[in-house]
Amino acid sequence: MRLIILSISFFYLIFNSTAKTLEENDHFNVSLDFEARTSILVSKMTLEEKISQLGNNAPAIPRLGVLEYNWWNECLHGVARAGTATVFPQAIGMAATFNPSLINNVAVVISDEARAKHHEALRNNDYSQYKGLTFWSPNINIFRDPRWGRGHETYGEDPYLTGQIGTQFVKGLQGNDSKYLKLVATAKHFAVHSGPESERHFFNANVNQRDLWETYLPAFEDLVVDANVYSVMGAYNRVNGESASASNYLLQEILRDKWGFNGYVVSDCGAINDIHANHKIVKTPEESAALGVITGCDLNCGGIYQRYLQESVTLGLISEKEIDTAVYRLFLARMKLGMFDPAEIVSYAQIPFDVNNSQKHDELSLKTAQSSMTLLKNNGVLPIDINNIKKIAVVGPNADNRNALLGNYHGTPSNPVTFLNGLNNYVGKRAEITYSKGVDLVKDGADGLNLLSDSIIKDVKKADLAIFVGGLDATWEGEEMPGGINVDGFYNGDRTRIEMPEIQQKAIKAMIDTGTPVVLVLMAGSSIALSGLEKELDAILMAWYPGQRGGDATTSVLFGDYNPGGKLPVTFYSSTSELPDFKDYNMHSGKGFTYRYYKGEALYPFGHGLSYTNFKYSKLTTDKTNINEKETFKISFNVKNIGDYDGDEVVQVYIKDLESKLKMPIKQLRSFKRVSLNKGDEKIVEFEFKPIEDFSYYNSNEQKYMVDKGSFEIQVGSSSQDIRLKKIIYVD
């Protein structure tokens, strides 16, 4: 396949009278290191050619054998927008697995499919968008407020969980070859970005230093330092007055100087234009373009660099040398991806196209969806005994809604399995299934779906069990939707209220009133308040946006073929009134954001998730009780499955500062592990901690992490509120 690429390049060269032959172009000389080859290539470019390469859609430079390339590619939970591909659960669902190694496996599959698609595109001379190797995933912003529409793209509200899941996702995408990158992953959106969507192009996030370093930056540091992510995307908003995509503090002082990042930075699409047009930091696009490059944003999605940088140089706003730095970083990435080497020496170029959408990948999508299923309530109605059920009434707008499987930034599944598909596949002729959409997700449709009809209520009354499948889909919560959905409860991609839409509440209440047991299956990407219905429902299963095998995964849990083990990566609040001002980025405001600061009583707390079996925790021990801040210490405890089913338990360890006079988080997740236990089995679980890393806070005056010495409580449990074991550690 590389021979085809070389022949294309050679075709360009022989028709350029000033070009050397391909063999004479030293940037193709594989005996040189990538850095030398990149320097040689950049030195041969004219200023105009250099500037042409700084946009997401970079044109070819025929005389140098440089092919056109589009940097914009997506793979949030599968290769997106590039045709048929395996679709995994949305990112928030992957976080609910609390299983970083599983997510690494998912990312390996995604990168296999991405490589296969890229090289197939090259064979067909296709250099279009979404066919490249540089991917704008993952989104590791902190899901600070459940109203944020893009929250389901993230790994939830906790910095530690986000960093652990994100690190493994990046490693799976970028591969482990000693020479070549498999893909380039992009940690986004750097930084302090979590709504409101309607104001993202001009909003200024005012954030204090402690919240910046303790909440908004840790996951980015994990991905840069531990996962060696090769790309970082800036955010649209300002952070304390600076454009996040042109911030010397964020992009130079923190990212490169402090963390040692050596990849490239890309702007969010249109963010450089916002610098003058909306943020009013400078007056002209020429100034915006120059400021972006000078502060460390190497690649512009949106075209400002390509249109205005030449004039910026003429005006003396930027030098060619400063432009060279950005061009060098971008071409070094392309070199490391093997784009200038023969395909036969790039191992990742050998991945066959038929891995895409393979049965093996489909099975992993099912496994991941099953692992993400989070059981919020169960009064004993689950698992369903198919032998004791003759009739099941299924109602709800997400029961046969393919959109509810996919979330956003998704590929095209070849055989998506909705809940209704999965139920029919499982039940077959063993029971009668009646189905009606019943109501719309949010508002009355053209068909007047407002209240459940008499015939639906009659079916529910006659049934042994009723299942309502509702929630939301990505047409209601997601990225900025200007001029789009602005109905009551929703605004431009965000939610203005977290309560379940009234139309669904009425339908569920009508079903409950029949006396038939009712199970609620929620498909959504964020927490939903149920306005008291949780007290009347017999069971509630949070299925997230579960991917192409979502229907099979959900059904397997309801009938007990798979014992749910997912946990909430977000807090479920009881009402919108529990939330602080959406625009306030101070984590302590009001009753506080997220479980780390929230002072109220959650509907379902962070880390919550039930099982069909029971787990007993015991024998918490520590190898030390008095330590200094740089010492390590170990804890161990036993977990035993004392129920009747095999199952998984996510053991969670939280740290609580007991003595500090400073404002500290109520508690913080500092370790977790998903443990599989057959019924009757018992395992010893061990973790290691270091106070300077796990007990620390950010001292704004000293500009570093420090430990406020005193007593700390080690809390071990099944959720942030279900704490089973405690132990005190003293830091001298």
Domain contains 602:
no
Long-range contacts of 352-360 (CB under 8 A, 24+ apart): 352/116, 353/116, 353/117, 353/119, 353/120, 354/116, 355/112, 355/113, 355/116, 356/79, 356/84, 356/85, 356/86, 356/113, 356/116, 356/117, 357/84, 357/85, 357/86, 357/113, 357/414, 358/86
- Domain count along the chain: 3
> 605 vs 471, 573, 594, 599, 601, CA distance in Å?
19, 8, 9, 12, 8
Q: Active site residue: 113, 477, 578, 694, which one? A: 477
- Least confidently predicted of 35-49, 220-234, 303-317, 437-451: 437-451
- Residue 18: pLDDT band (50, 70, 90) is very low
184: DSSP letter:
B
Backbone angles phi, psi at 443, to 5 degrees: -130, 170
Closest CA to 324 of 37, 36, 63, 50: 50
CB 225 within 8 A of CB 262: no
Do 26 and 135 belong to one domain?
A: yes
Closest CA to 129 of 1, 361, 301: 301
Q: Is residue 639 part of a domain?
A: yes
Rounded CA gap, 674 and 685, in Å?
10
Q: Where are the alpha helices (DSSP H) in 15-158?
A: 34-44, 47-52, 91-96, 100-123
Give pLDDT, residue 624: 95
- Whether 607 is covered by a domain: the verdict is no
What would the two tokens of residue 236 be?
């649209």
Does residue 184 contact residue 135 with C-beta atoms inside 8 Å? yes
Domain containing residue 200: CATH number: 3.20.20.300
User: Hey, how many other C-beta atoms are within 10 angstroms of the C-beta on 520?
Assistant: 28
- The terminus-to-terminus CA distance of the chain in angstroms comes to 62
Specify whether 347 is located in the same domain as 378.
Answer: no
Supply 410's token pair. 């998704």
Phi, psi of 116 (to 5 degrees): -60, -45
For 574-600, how does the pLDDT look when each residue is reduced to its tens digit (9 = 90+)?
Answer: 999 999 999 999 999 999 999 999 999
CATH number of domain containing 553: 3.40.50.1700
Domain limits for position 330 = 2-353
Size (the chain), residues: 732
Q: What is the mean pLDDT of residues 677-685?
A: 98
Query: Do 106 and 150 sit in the same domain of this protein?
Result: yes
Q: What is the per-residue pLDDT across 147-196, written as a single tens digit (0 to 9) for each?
A: 999 999 999 999 999 999 999 999 999 999 999 999 999 999 999 999 99
Q: Same structural domain for residues 443 and 472? A: yes
Distance in angstroms (rounded) separating the CA atoms of residues 567 and 158: 13
Closest CA to 100 of 374, 405, 359, 371: 371
Question: In terms of domains, do 418 and 325 share one?
Answer: no
Domain boundary among 597, 626, 642: 597
Q: Exactly one of 112, 268, 362, 473 is catalytic; name it.
A: 268
Pair 236, 305: CB distance under 8 Å = no
Are residues 634 and 592 located together in one domain of the fold?
no
| 471 and 511, same domain (yes or no) | yes
Mean pLDDT of 466-491: 90
Return the H-helix or E-strand segment holding 649: strand 647-657
CA distance 202 to 494: 16
What pLDDT score was predicted for residue 12? 32
Are both 633 and 515 inside the same structural domain? Answer: no
H-helix or E-strand containing 7?
helix 2-14
Q: Which two tokens stand for residue 215?
A: 């909440």
What pLDDT band is residue 15 in, cutting at 50, 70 and 90? very low
**Do residues 565 and 636 share a domain?**
no
Query: Residue 444's pLDDT is what?
Result: 57
Based on the domain organization, do 198 and 235 belong to the same domain?
Answer: yes
How do beta strands 465-471 and 633-641 pair?
Answer: unpaired
Would you state the pLDDT for residue 487? 86
Residue 9 confidence (pLDDT): 37
| Residue 295 included in any domain | yes
Q: Is 385 among the residues known to form the active site?
A: no
- Considering only CA atoms, which of 160, 207, 243 is closest in space to residue 700? 207
User: Using one digit for the tens of pLDDT, what is the confidence trace for 267-318?
Assistant: 999 999 999 999 999 999 999 999 999 999 999 999 999 999 999 999 999 9
> Is 419 a domain residue?
yes
- Does the pLDDT at position 477 exceed 50? yes
The string of pLDDT tens digits covering residues 595-640 is 999 999 999 999 999 999 999 999 999 999 999 999 999 999 999 9
Q: What would the mean pLDDT of 318-331 be, rounded to a whole number?
A: 98
Band the pLDDT of 206: cuts 50, 70, 90: very high
Q: What is the pLDDT of residue 451?
A: 81
The residue out of 296, 326, 353 marking a domain boundary is: 353
CB 643 within 8 A of CB 628: no
Retrieve residue 672's tokens.
């977790």
> For residues 401 and 418, what is the distance between their CA atoms, to the nearest angstrom?
6
Q: Which two tokens stand for residue 627?
A: 């330590």
Neighbouring residues of 144: CB distance < 8 A, sequence distance ≥ 6: 157, 194, 195, 215, 585, 587, 593, 594
| Average per-residue pLDDT for the chain | 95
Distance from C-alpha of 149 to C-alpha of 478, rounded to nearest angstrom:
4
Q: What is the DSSP letter of 89?
A: P
Write down which residue in 289, 318, 353 finishes a domain.
353
pLDDT tens per residue, range 57-106: 999 999 999 999 999 999 999 999 999 999 999 999 999 999 999 999 99
Q: Do 266 and 233 contact (CB within 8 A), yes or no?
A: yes
Beta strand 374-378 with 539-542: parallel, antiparallel or unpaired?
antiparallel
What pLDDT band is residue 484 in, cutting at 50, 70 and 90? low
Q: Is residue 537 part of a domain?
A: yes
pLDDT one-digit tens code per residue, 493-511: 999 999 999 999 999 999 9
Backbone φ and ψ of 74, nearest 5° = -130, 140
* CA 522/CA 96 separation, integer angstroms: 14
Q: What is the CATH number of the domain that holds 663?
A: 2.60.40.10
Same domain as 245, residue 157? yes
Is position 604 within any domain? no
**Banded pLDDT at 127 (limits 50, 70, 90):** very high
494 noted as active-site residue = no
Do 573 and 498 touch, CB atoms closer than 8 A? Answer: yes
For residue 24, what pLDDT is reported?
A: 55
Question: 183 phi and psi, to 5 degrees?
Answer: -135, 170
Whether 592 and 623 map to the same domain: the answer is: no
In the predicted structure, residue 469 carries a pLDDT above the cut 80 = yes
| Residue closest to 130 by CA, chosen among 83, 184, 189 | 83
In a domain, residue 605? The reply is no
User: What does pTM read for this prediction?
Assistant: 0.96
